[in-house]
Amino acid sequence: MPITIALAGNPNSGKTTIFNDLTDSRQFVGNWPGVTVEKKDGRLKTDKNVTIQDLPGIYSLTAYSPEETITRRYLINEKPDAVINVVDASNLERGLYLTTQVLETGLPVVVALNMTDVARKRGNRIDKKKLSAIFGCGFIETSAVRGEGMDEIAAAAEKLAGSRPIPKRIFSGEIENAVSRLSEIVMGRVPPGTGRWHAIKLIEGDAPVLGRADLGESAAAWLTGFRRRLEETRGDTAESVIISERYAFIERAVKEAAVRPNAGRVTESDKIDAIVTNRLLALPIFAAVMFLVYYISIGTIGGFLTEWVGGTLFGGLIPAWAAGLLKSMNVAPWLISLIVDGIIAGVGGVLGFLPQMAILFACLAAMEDCGYMARIAFIMDRAFRKIGLSGKSFIPILIGTGCGVPGIMASRAIESEPERRLTVITTTFIPCGAKLPVISLIASALFGGAAWVAASAYFLGMAAIIVSGLILRRAPVFAGDSAAFVMELPAYHTPRLSNVLRRMWDRTRAFAAKAGTVILLASVVIWFLSGFDTRLRVTGDAGASILAAIGGAVAPVFAPLGWGDWRPVTASISGLIAKENAVGTLGVLFGFTGEGGWETLRSSFTPASAYSFLIFNLLCAPCAAAMAAIAREMRSARWTAFALIYQTIFAYAAALIFYQTAVIFAK
């Protein structure tokens, strides 16, 4: 019989790691709120009849955020067979607050006391039996990162599936009496088993529940009177009274069932945060860290490996071997040219930068896994609020360093519509993995592998976001308050090698797969267009080709940017399909597999025009996949068109200002 088990818990509680372990999935794990912005499902690896639903991380079932709304609707309306409530064992009060609310839904619940290894290191001892007796549900110790307790928690949830537990009474007498009365009134009008939850929400004055409630005139008048008396006697709002009583119950439970000798002591994470989140030091440290990441990726190990893979392997050995083999088989010259000058030059030109990308992905994964990236969101919240954004806007930007598509999708977690739109428009300014080959090509071929070029590209993206915020927030359609940003900073820990390698592999594999499909096809098209003239006759002069005619018609527009040659113009246009295509196109047109390919490329640019080319391709409209993501998130053709046009105009203006300024100072 099919069974559905929901995973519910706070952000940073290890919920998604448990999901990955139970289902053998590779869902992205992030230590900041908003990573999971919709419910995701997988099959339990030990029983394919069991579906595990990973719900967005939330702190409560009060629908103040998109994550809370998704989770609450699912638990109340779709009614899973059981719930695994993931609680951080090192921070019980925070996690158990949600536990009290999940239990009120009437669903069978088992609590995973996760991160018990962290709690033990702090000297904490938790009596699971006492907690089970107090809350009326099972408690099982787990450690998601170590794989401890996974089989037990899954088996307990399966055993509970379909049962109907009796929720514990946790409030004072007058409130519990009111809850009982309201539960009877709403019975039959709400999903079975949720009467207590709806009753409490009515007392809190929850707007969505009140809006749907059909209590009748008498019951509604009684509820209004009760809430008024409660607020007068307690001197606070009804919602605040309920919150206070929840925490009072939790504090008694924790005091009785947990021993925490080091509670309140300054931790190692606190000591590190005193430096890295310092108001004066935070941004310089962040800048230094990102420079180091790009220096390692582009300038040292990555640079050496890329020089061998791109220059020696794809630039010499493979094309020479392929040409020799094909000639020995008496293959037609045009087919040899297609394979060597088209496919190998185009795809190989992109794959040559794979080592640098893999190292960059590994560095970013390590920063995410150790907990530093969460601090960056916290740090940037202060800076972003000055331009009308918030730390919630920075989270999509952080995710976008891997790929712009999930970064754009992460904007769903932002409640403010103006801020969400502004985030969607600016997220792709940050260099994603697909832009790294463009950055690497410019840095390696035209700046001698200088690490500052790659690092400056990252900060250029940040500057574009800030400037765009200052410009667009002046328009009435983008005006409004920034979204509230509340997050729990996870404790620092040593990155797990398996996590780092898995994320590096997933991102690198996705890039390589694109090189074998989209970029391969684009390389063939570019080879054809550059090898035939407008009368479809083979031409030995690429300047007389179809592609030259197309690029030449557009090239004058880009002449003020310093690169009015039809070849880089064509490369930029092909980058709208996939950003890596820009490198593949240049590889075909400049002949990276032949002698002097890079030298010809260098002779076509000056340092100023090369960096101008980089600026435009970093900031202009993103790849086709990201454009589609923008359209989905904007839900409006007009807003989508505005986003793409704005990005392109901004990129053109930035490149123009840079190049013309550089020319003036060079005189």
Q: What is the pLDDT of residue 135?
A: 93
**Interval 565-576 mean pLDDT:** 86
State pLDDT tens for residues 115-137.
Answer: 888 788 878 888 999 999 999 99
Q: What is the pLDDT of residue 21?
A: 85
Q: What is the pLDDT of residue 125?
A: 87
Q: What is the pLDDT of residue 38?
A: 58
**Higher per-residue confidence, 664 vs 448:** 664
Same topology for domains 3-160 and 173-259, yes or no? no
Neighbours of 320 (CB within 10 A): 12
Predicted confidence (pLDDT) at residue 76 exceeds the cutoff of 60: yes
Q: What is the pLDDT of residue 558?
A: 92
pLDDT, averaged across the chain? 82
Cα 585 to chain centroid distance, Å, stands at 29
**Higher per-residue confidence, 261 vs 112:** 112
Under DSSP, the state recorded for 298 is I
Tokens of 393: 């806007």
**Interval 612-622 mean pLDDT:** 92
Best CA proximity match to 3, nearest among 98, 81, 117, 91? 81
Q: What is the pLDDT of residue 460?
A: 92
pTM passes above 0.75: no
Give the model's confidence band at 593: pLDDT under 50 very low, under 70 low, under 90 confident, else very high. Answer: low
Q: What is the pLDDT of residue 447?
A: 83
Sign of dihedral through CA atoms 11, 144, 408, 619? positive
**Higher per-residue confidence, 624 vs 213:** 624
Predicted confidence (pLDDT) at residue 213 exceeds the cutoff of 80: no
CB 459, CB 603: distance < 8 Å: no
Q: What is the pLDDT of residue 516?
A: 67
- Phi and psi at 325, nearest 5°, equal -65, -45
Instruction: Give 47's strand partners.
Output: 44
The CATH number, out of the four listed (3.40.50.300, 1.10.287.40, 3.40.47.10, 3.100.10.20), of the domain defined by the range 3-160: 3.40.50.300
State pLDDT tens for residues 34-66.
Answer: 444 556 788 888 888 889 998 888 888 886 677
**Higher per-residue confidence, 249 vs 357:** 249
**CATH assignment, 173-259:** 1.10.287.1770
Q: What is the pLDDT of residue 39?
A: 64
**Higher per-residue confidence, 589 vs 622:** 622
Per-range mean pLDDT, top range of 66-80, 290-304, 399-413, 532-546: 66-80
Predicted confidence (pLDDT) at residue 454 exceeds the cutoff of 80: yes
Q: What is the pLDDT of residue 103?
A: 93
Query: Using only C-alpha atoms, what is the Rg of the chain?
Result: 29
Domain boundaries, the chain: 3-160, 173-259, 283-486+497-666
Predicted confidence (pLDDT) at residue 426 exceeds the cutoff of 80: yes
**Higher per-residue confidence, 247 vs 67:** 247
Q: What is the pLDDT of residue 481?
A: 62
CB 86, CB 13: distance < 8 Å: yes
Predicted confidence (pLDDT) at residue 322 exceeds the cutoff of 70: yes
Burial status of residue 284 (CB atoms within 10 A of its CB: 0-12, 13-18, 19 or more): exposed
Predicted confidence (pLDDT) at residue 638 exceeds the cutoff of 70: yes
Q: What is the pLDDT of residue 261?
A: 65
State pLDDT tens for residues 159-172.
Answer: 998 888 878 888 98
**Interval 390-419 mean pLDDT:** 79
Predicted confidence (pLDDT) at residue 487 exceeds the cutoff of 70: no
Cα 321 to chain centroid distance, Å, stands at 42
Q: What is the pLDDT of residue 641?
A: 94
**Interval 334-338 mean pLDDT:** 75
Q: What is the pLDDT of residue 27?
A: 57
Q: What is the pLDDT of residue 407?
A: 82
Predicted confidence (pLDDT) at residue 31 exceeds the cutoff of 50: no
Which of the residue ranges 273-282, 345-354, 523-532 would you say has the lowest mean pLDDT?
A: 345-354
Residues 6+ apart with CB under 8 A from 466: 383, 387
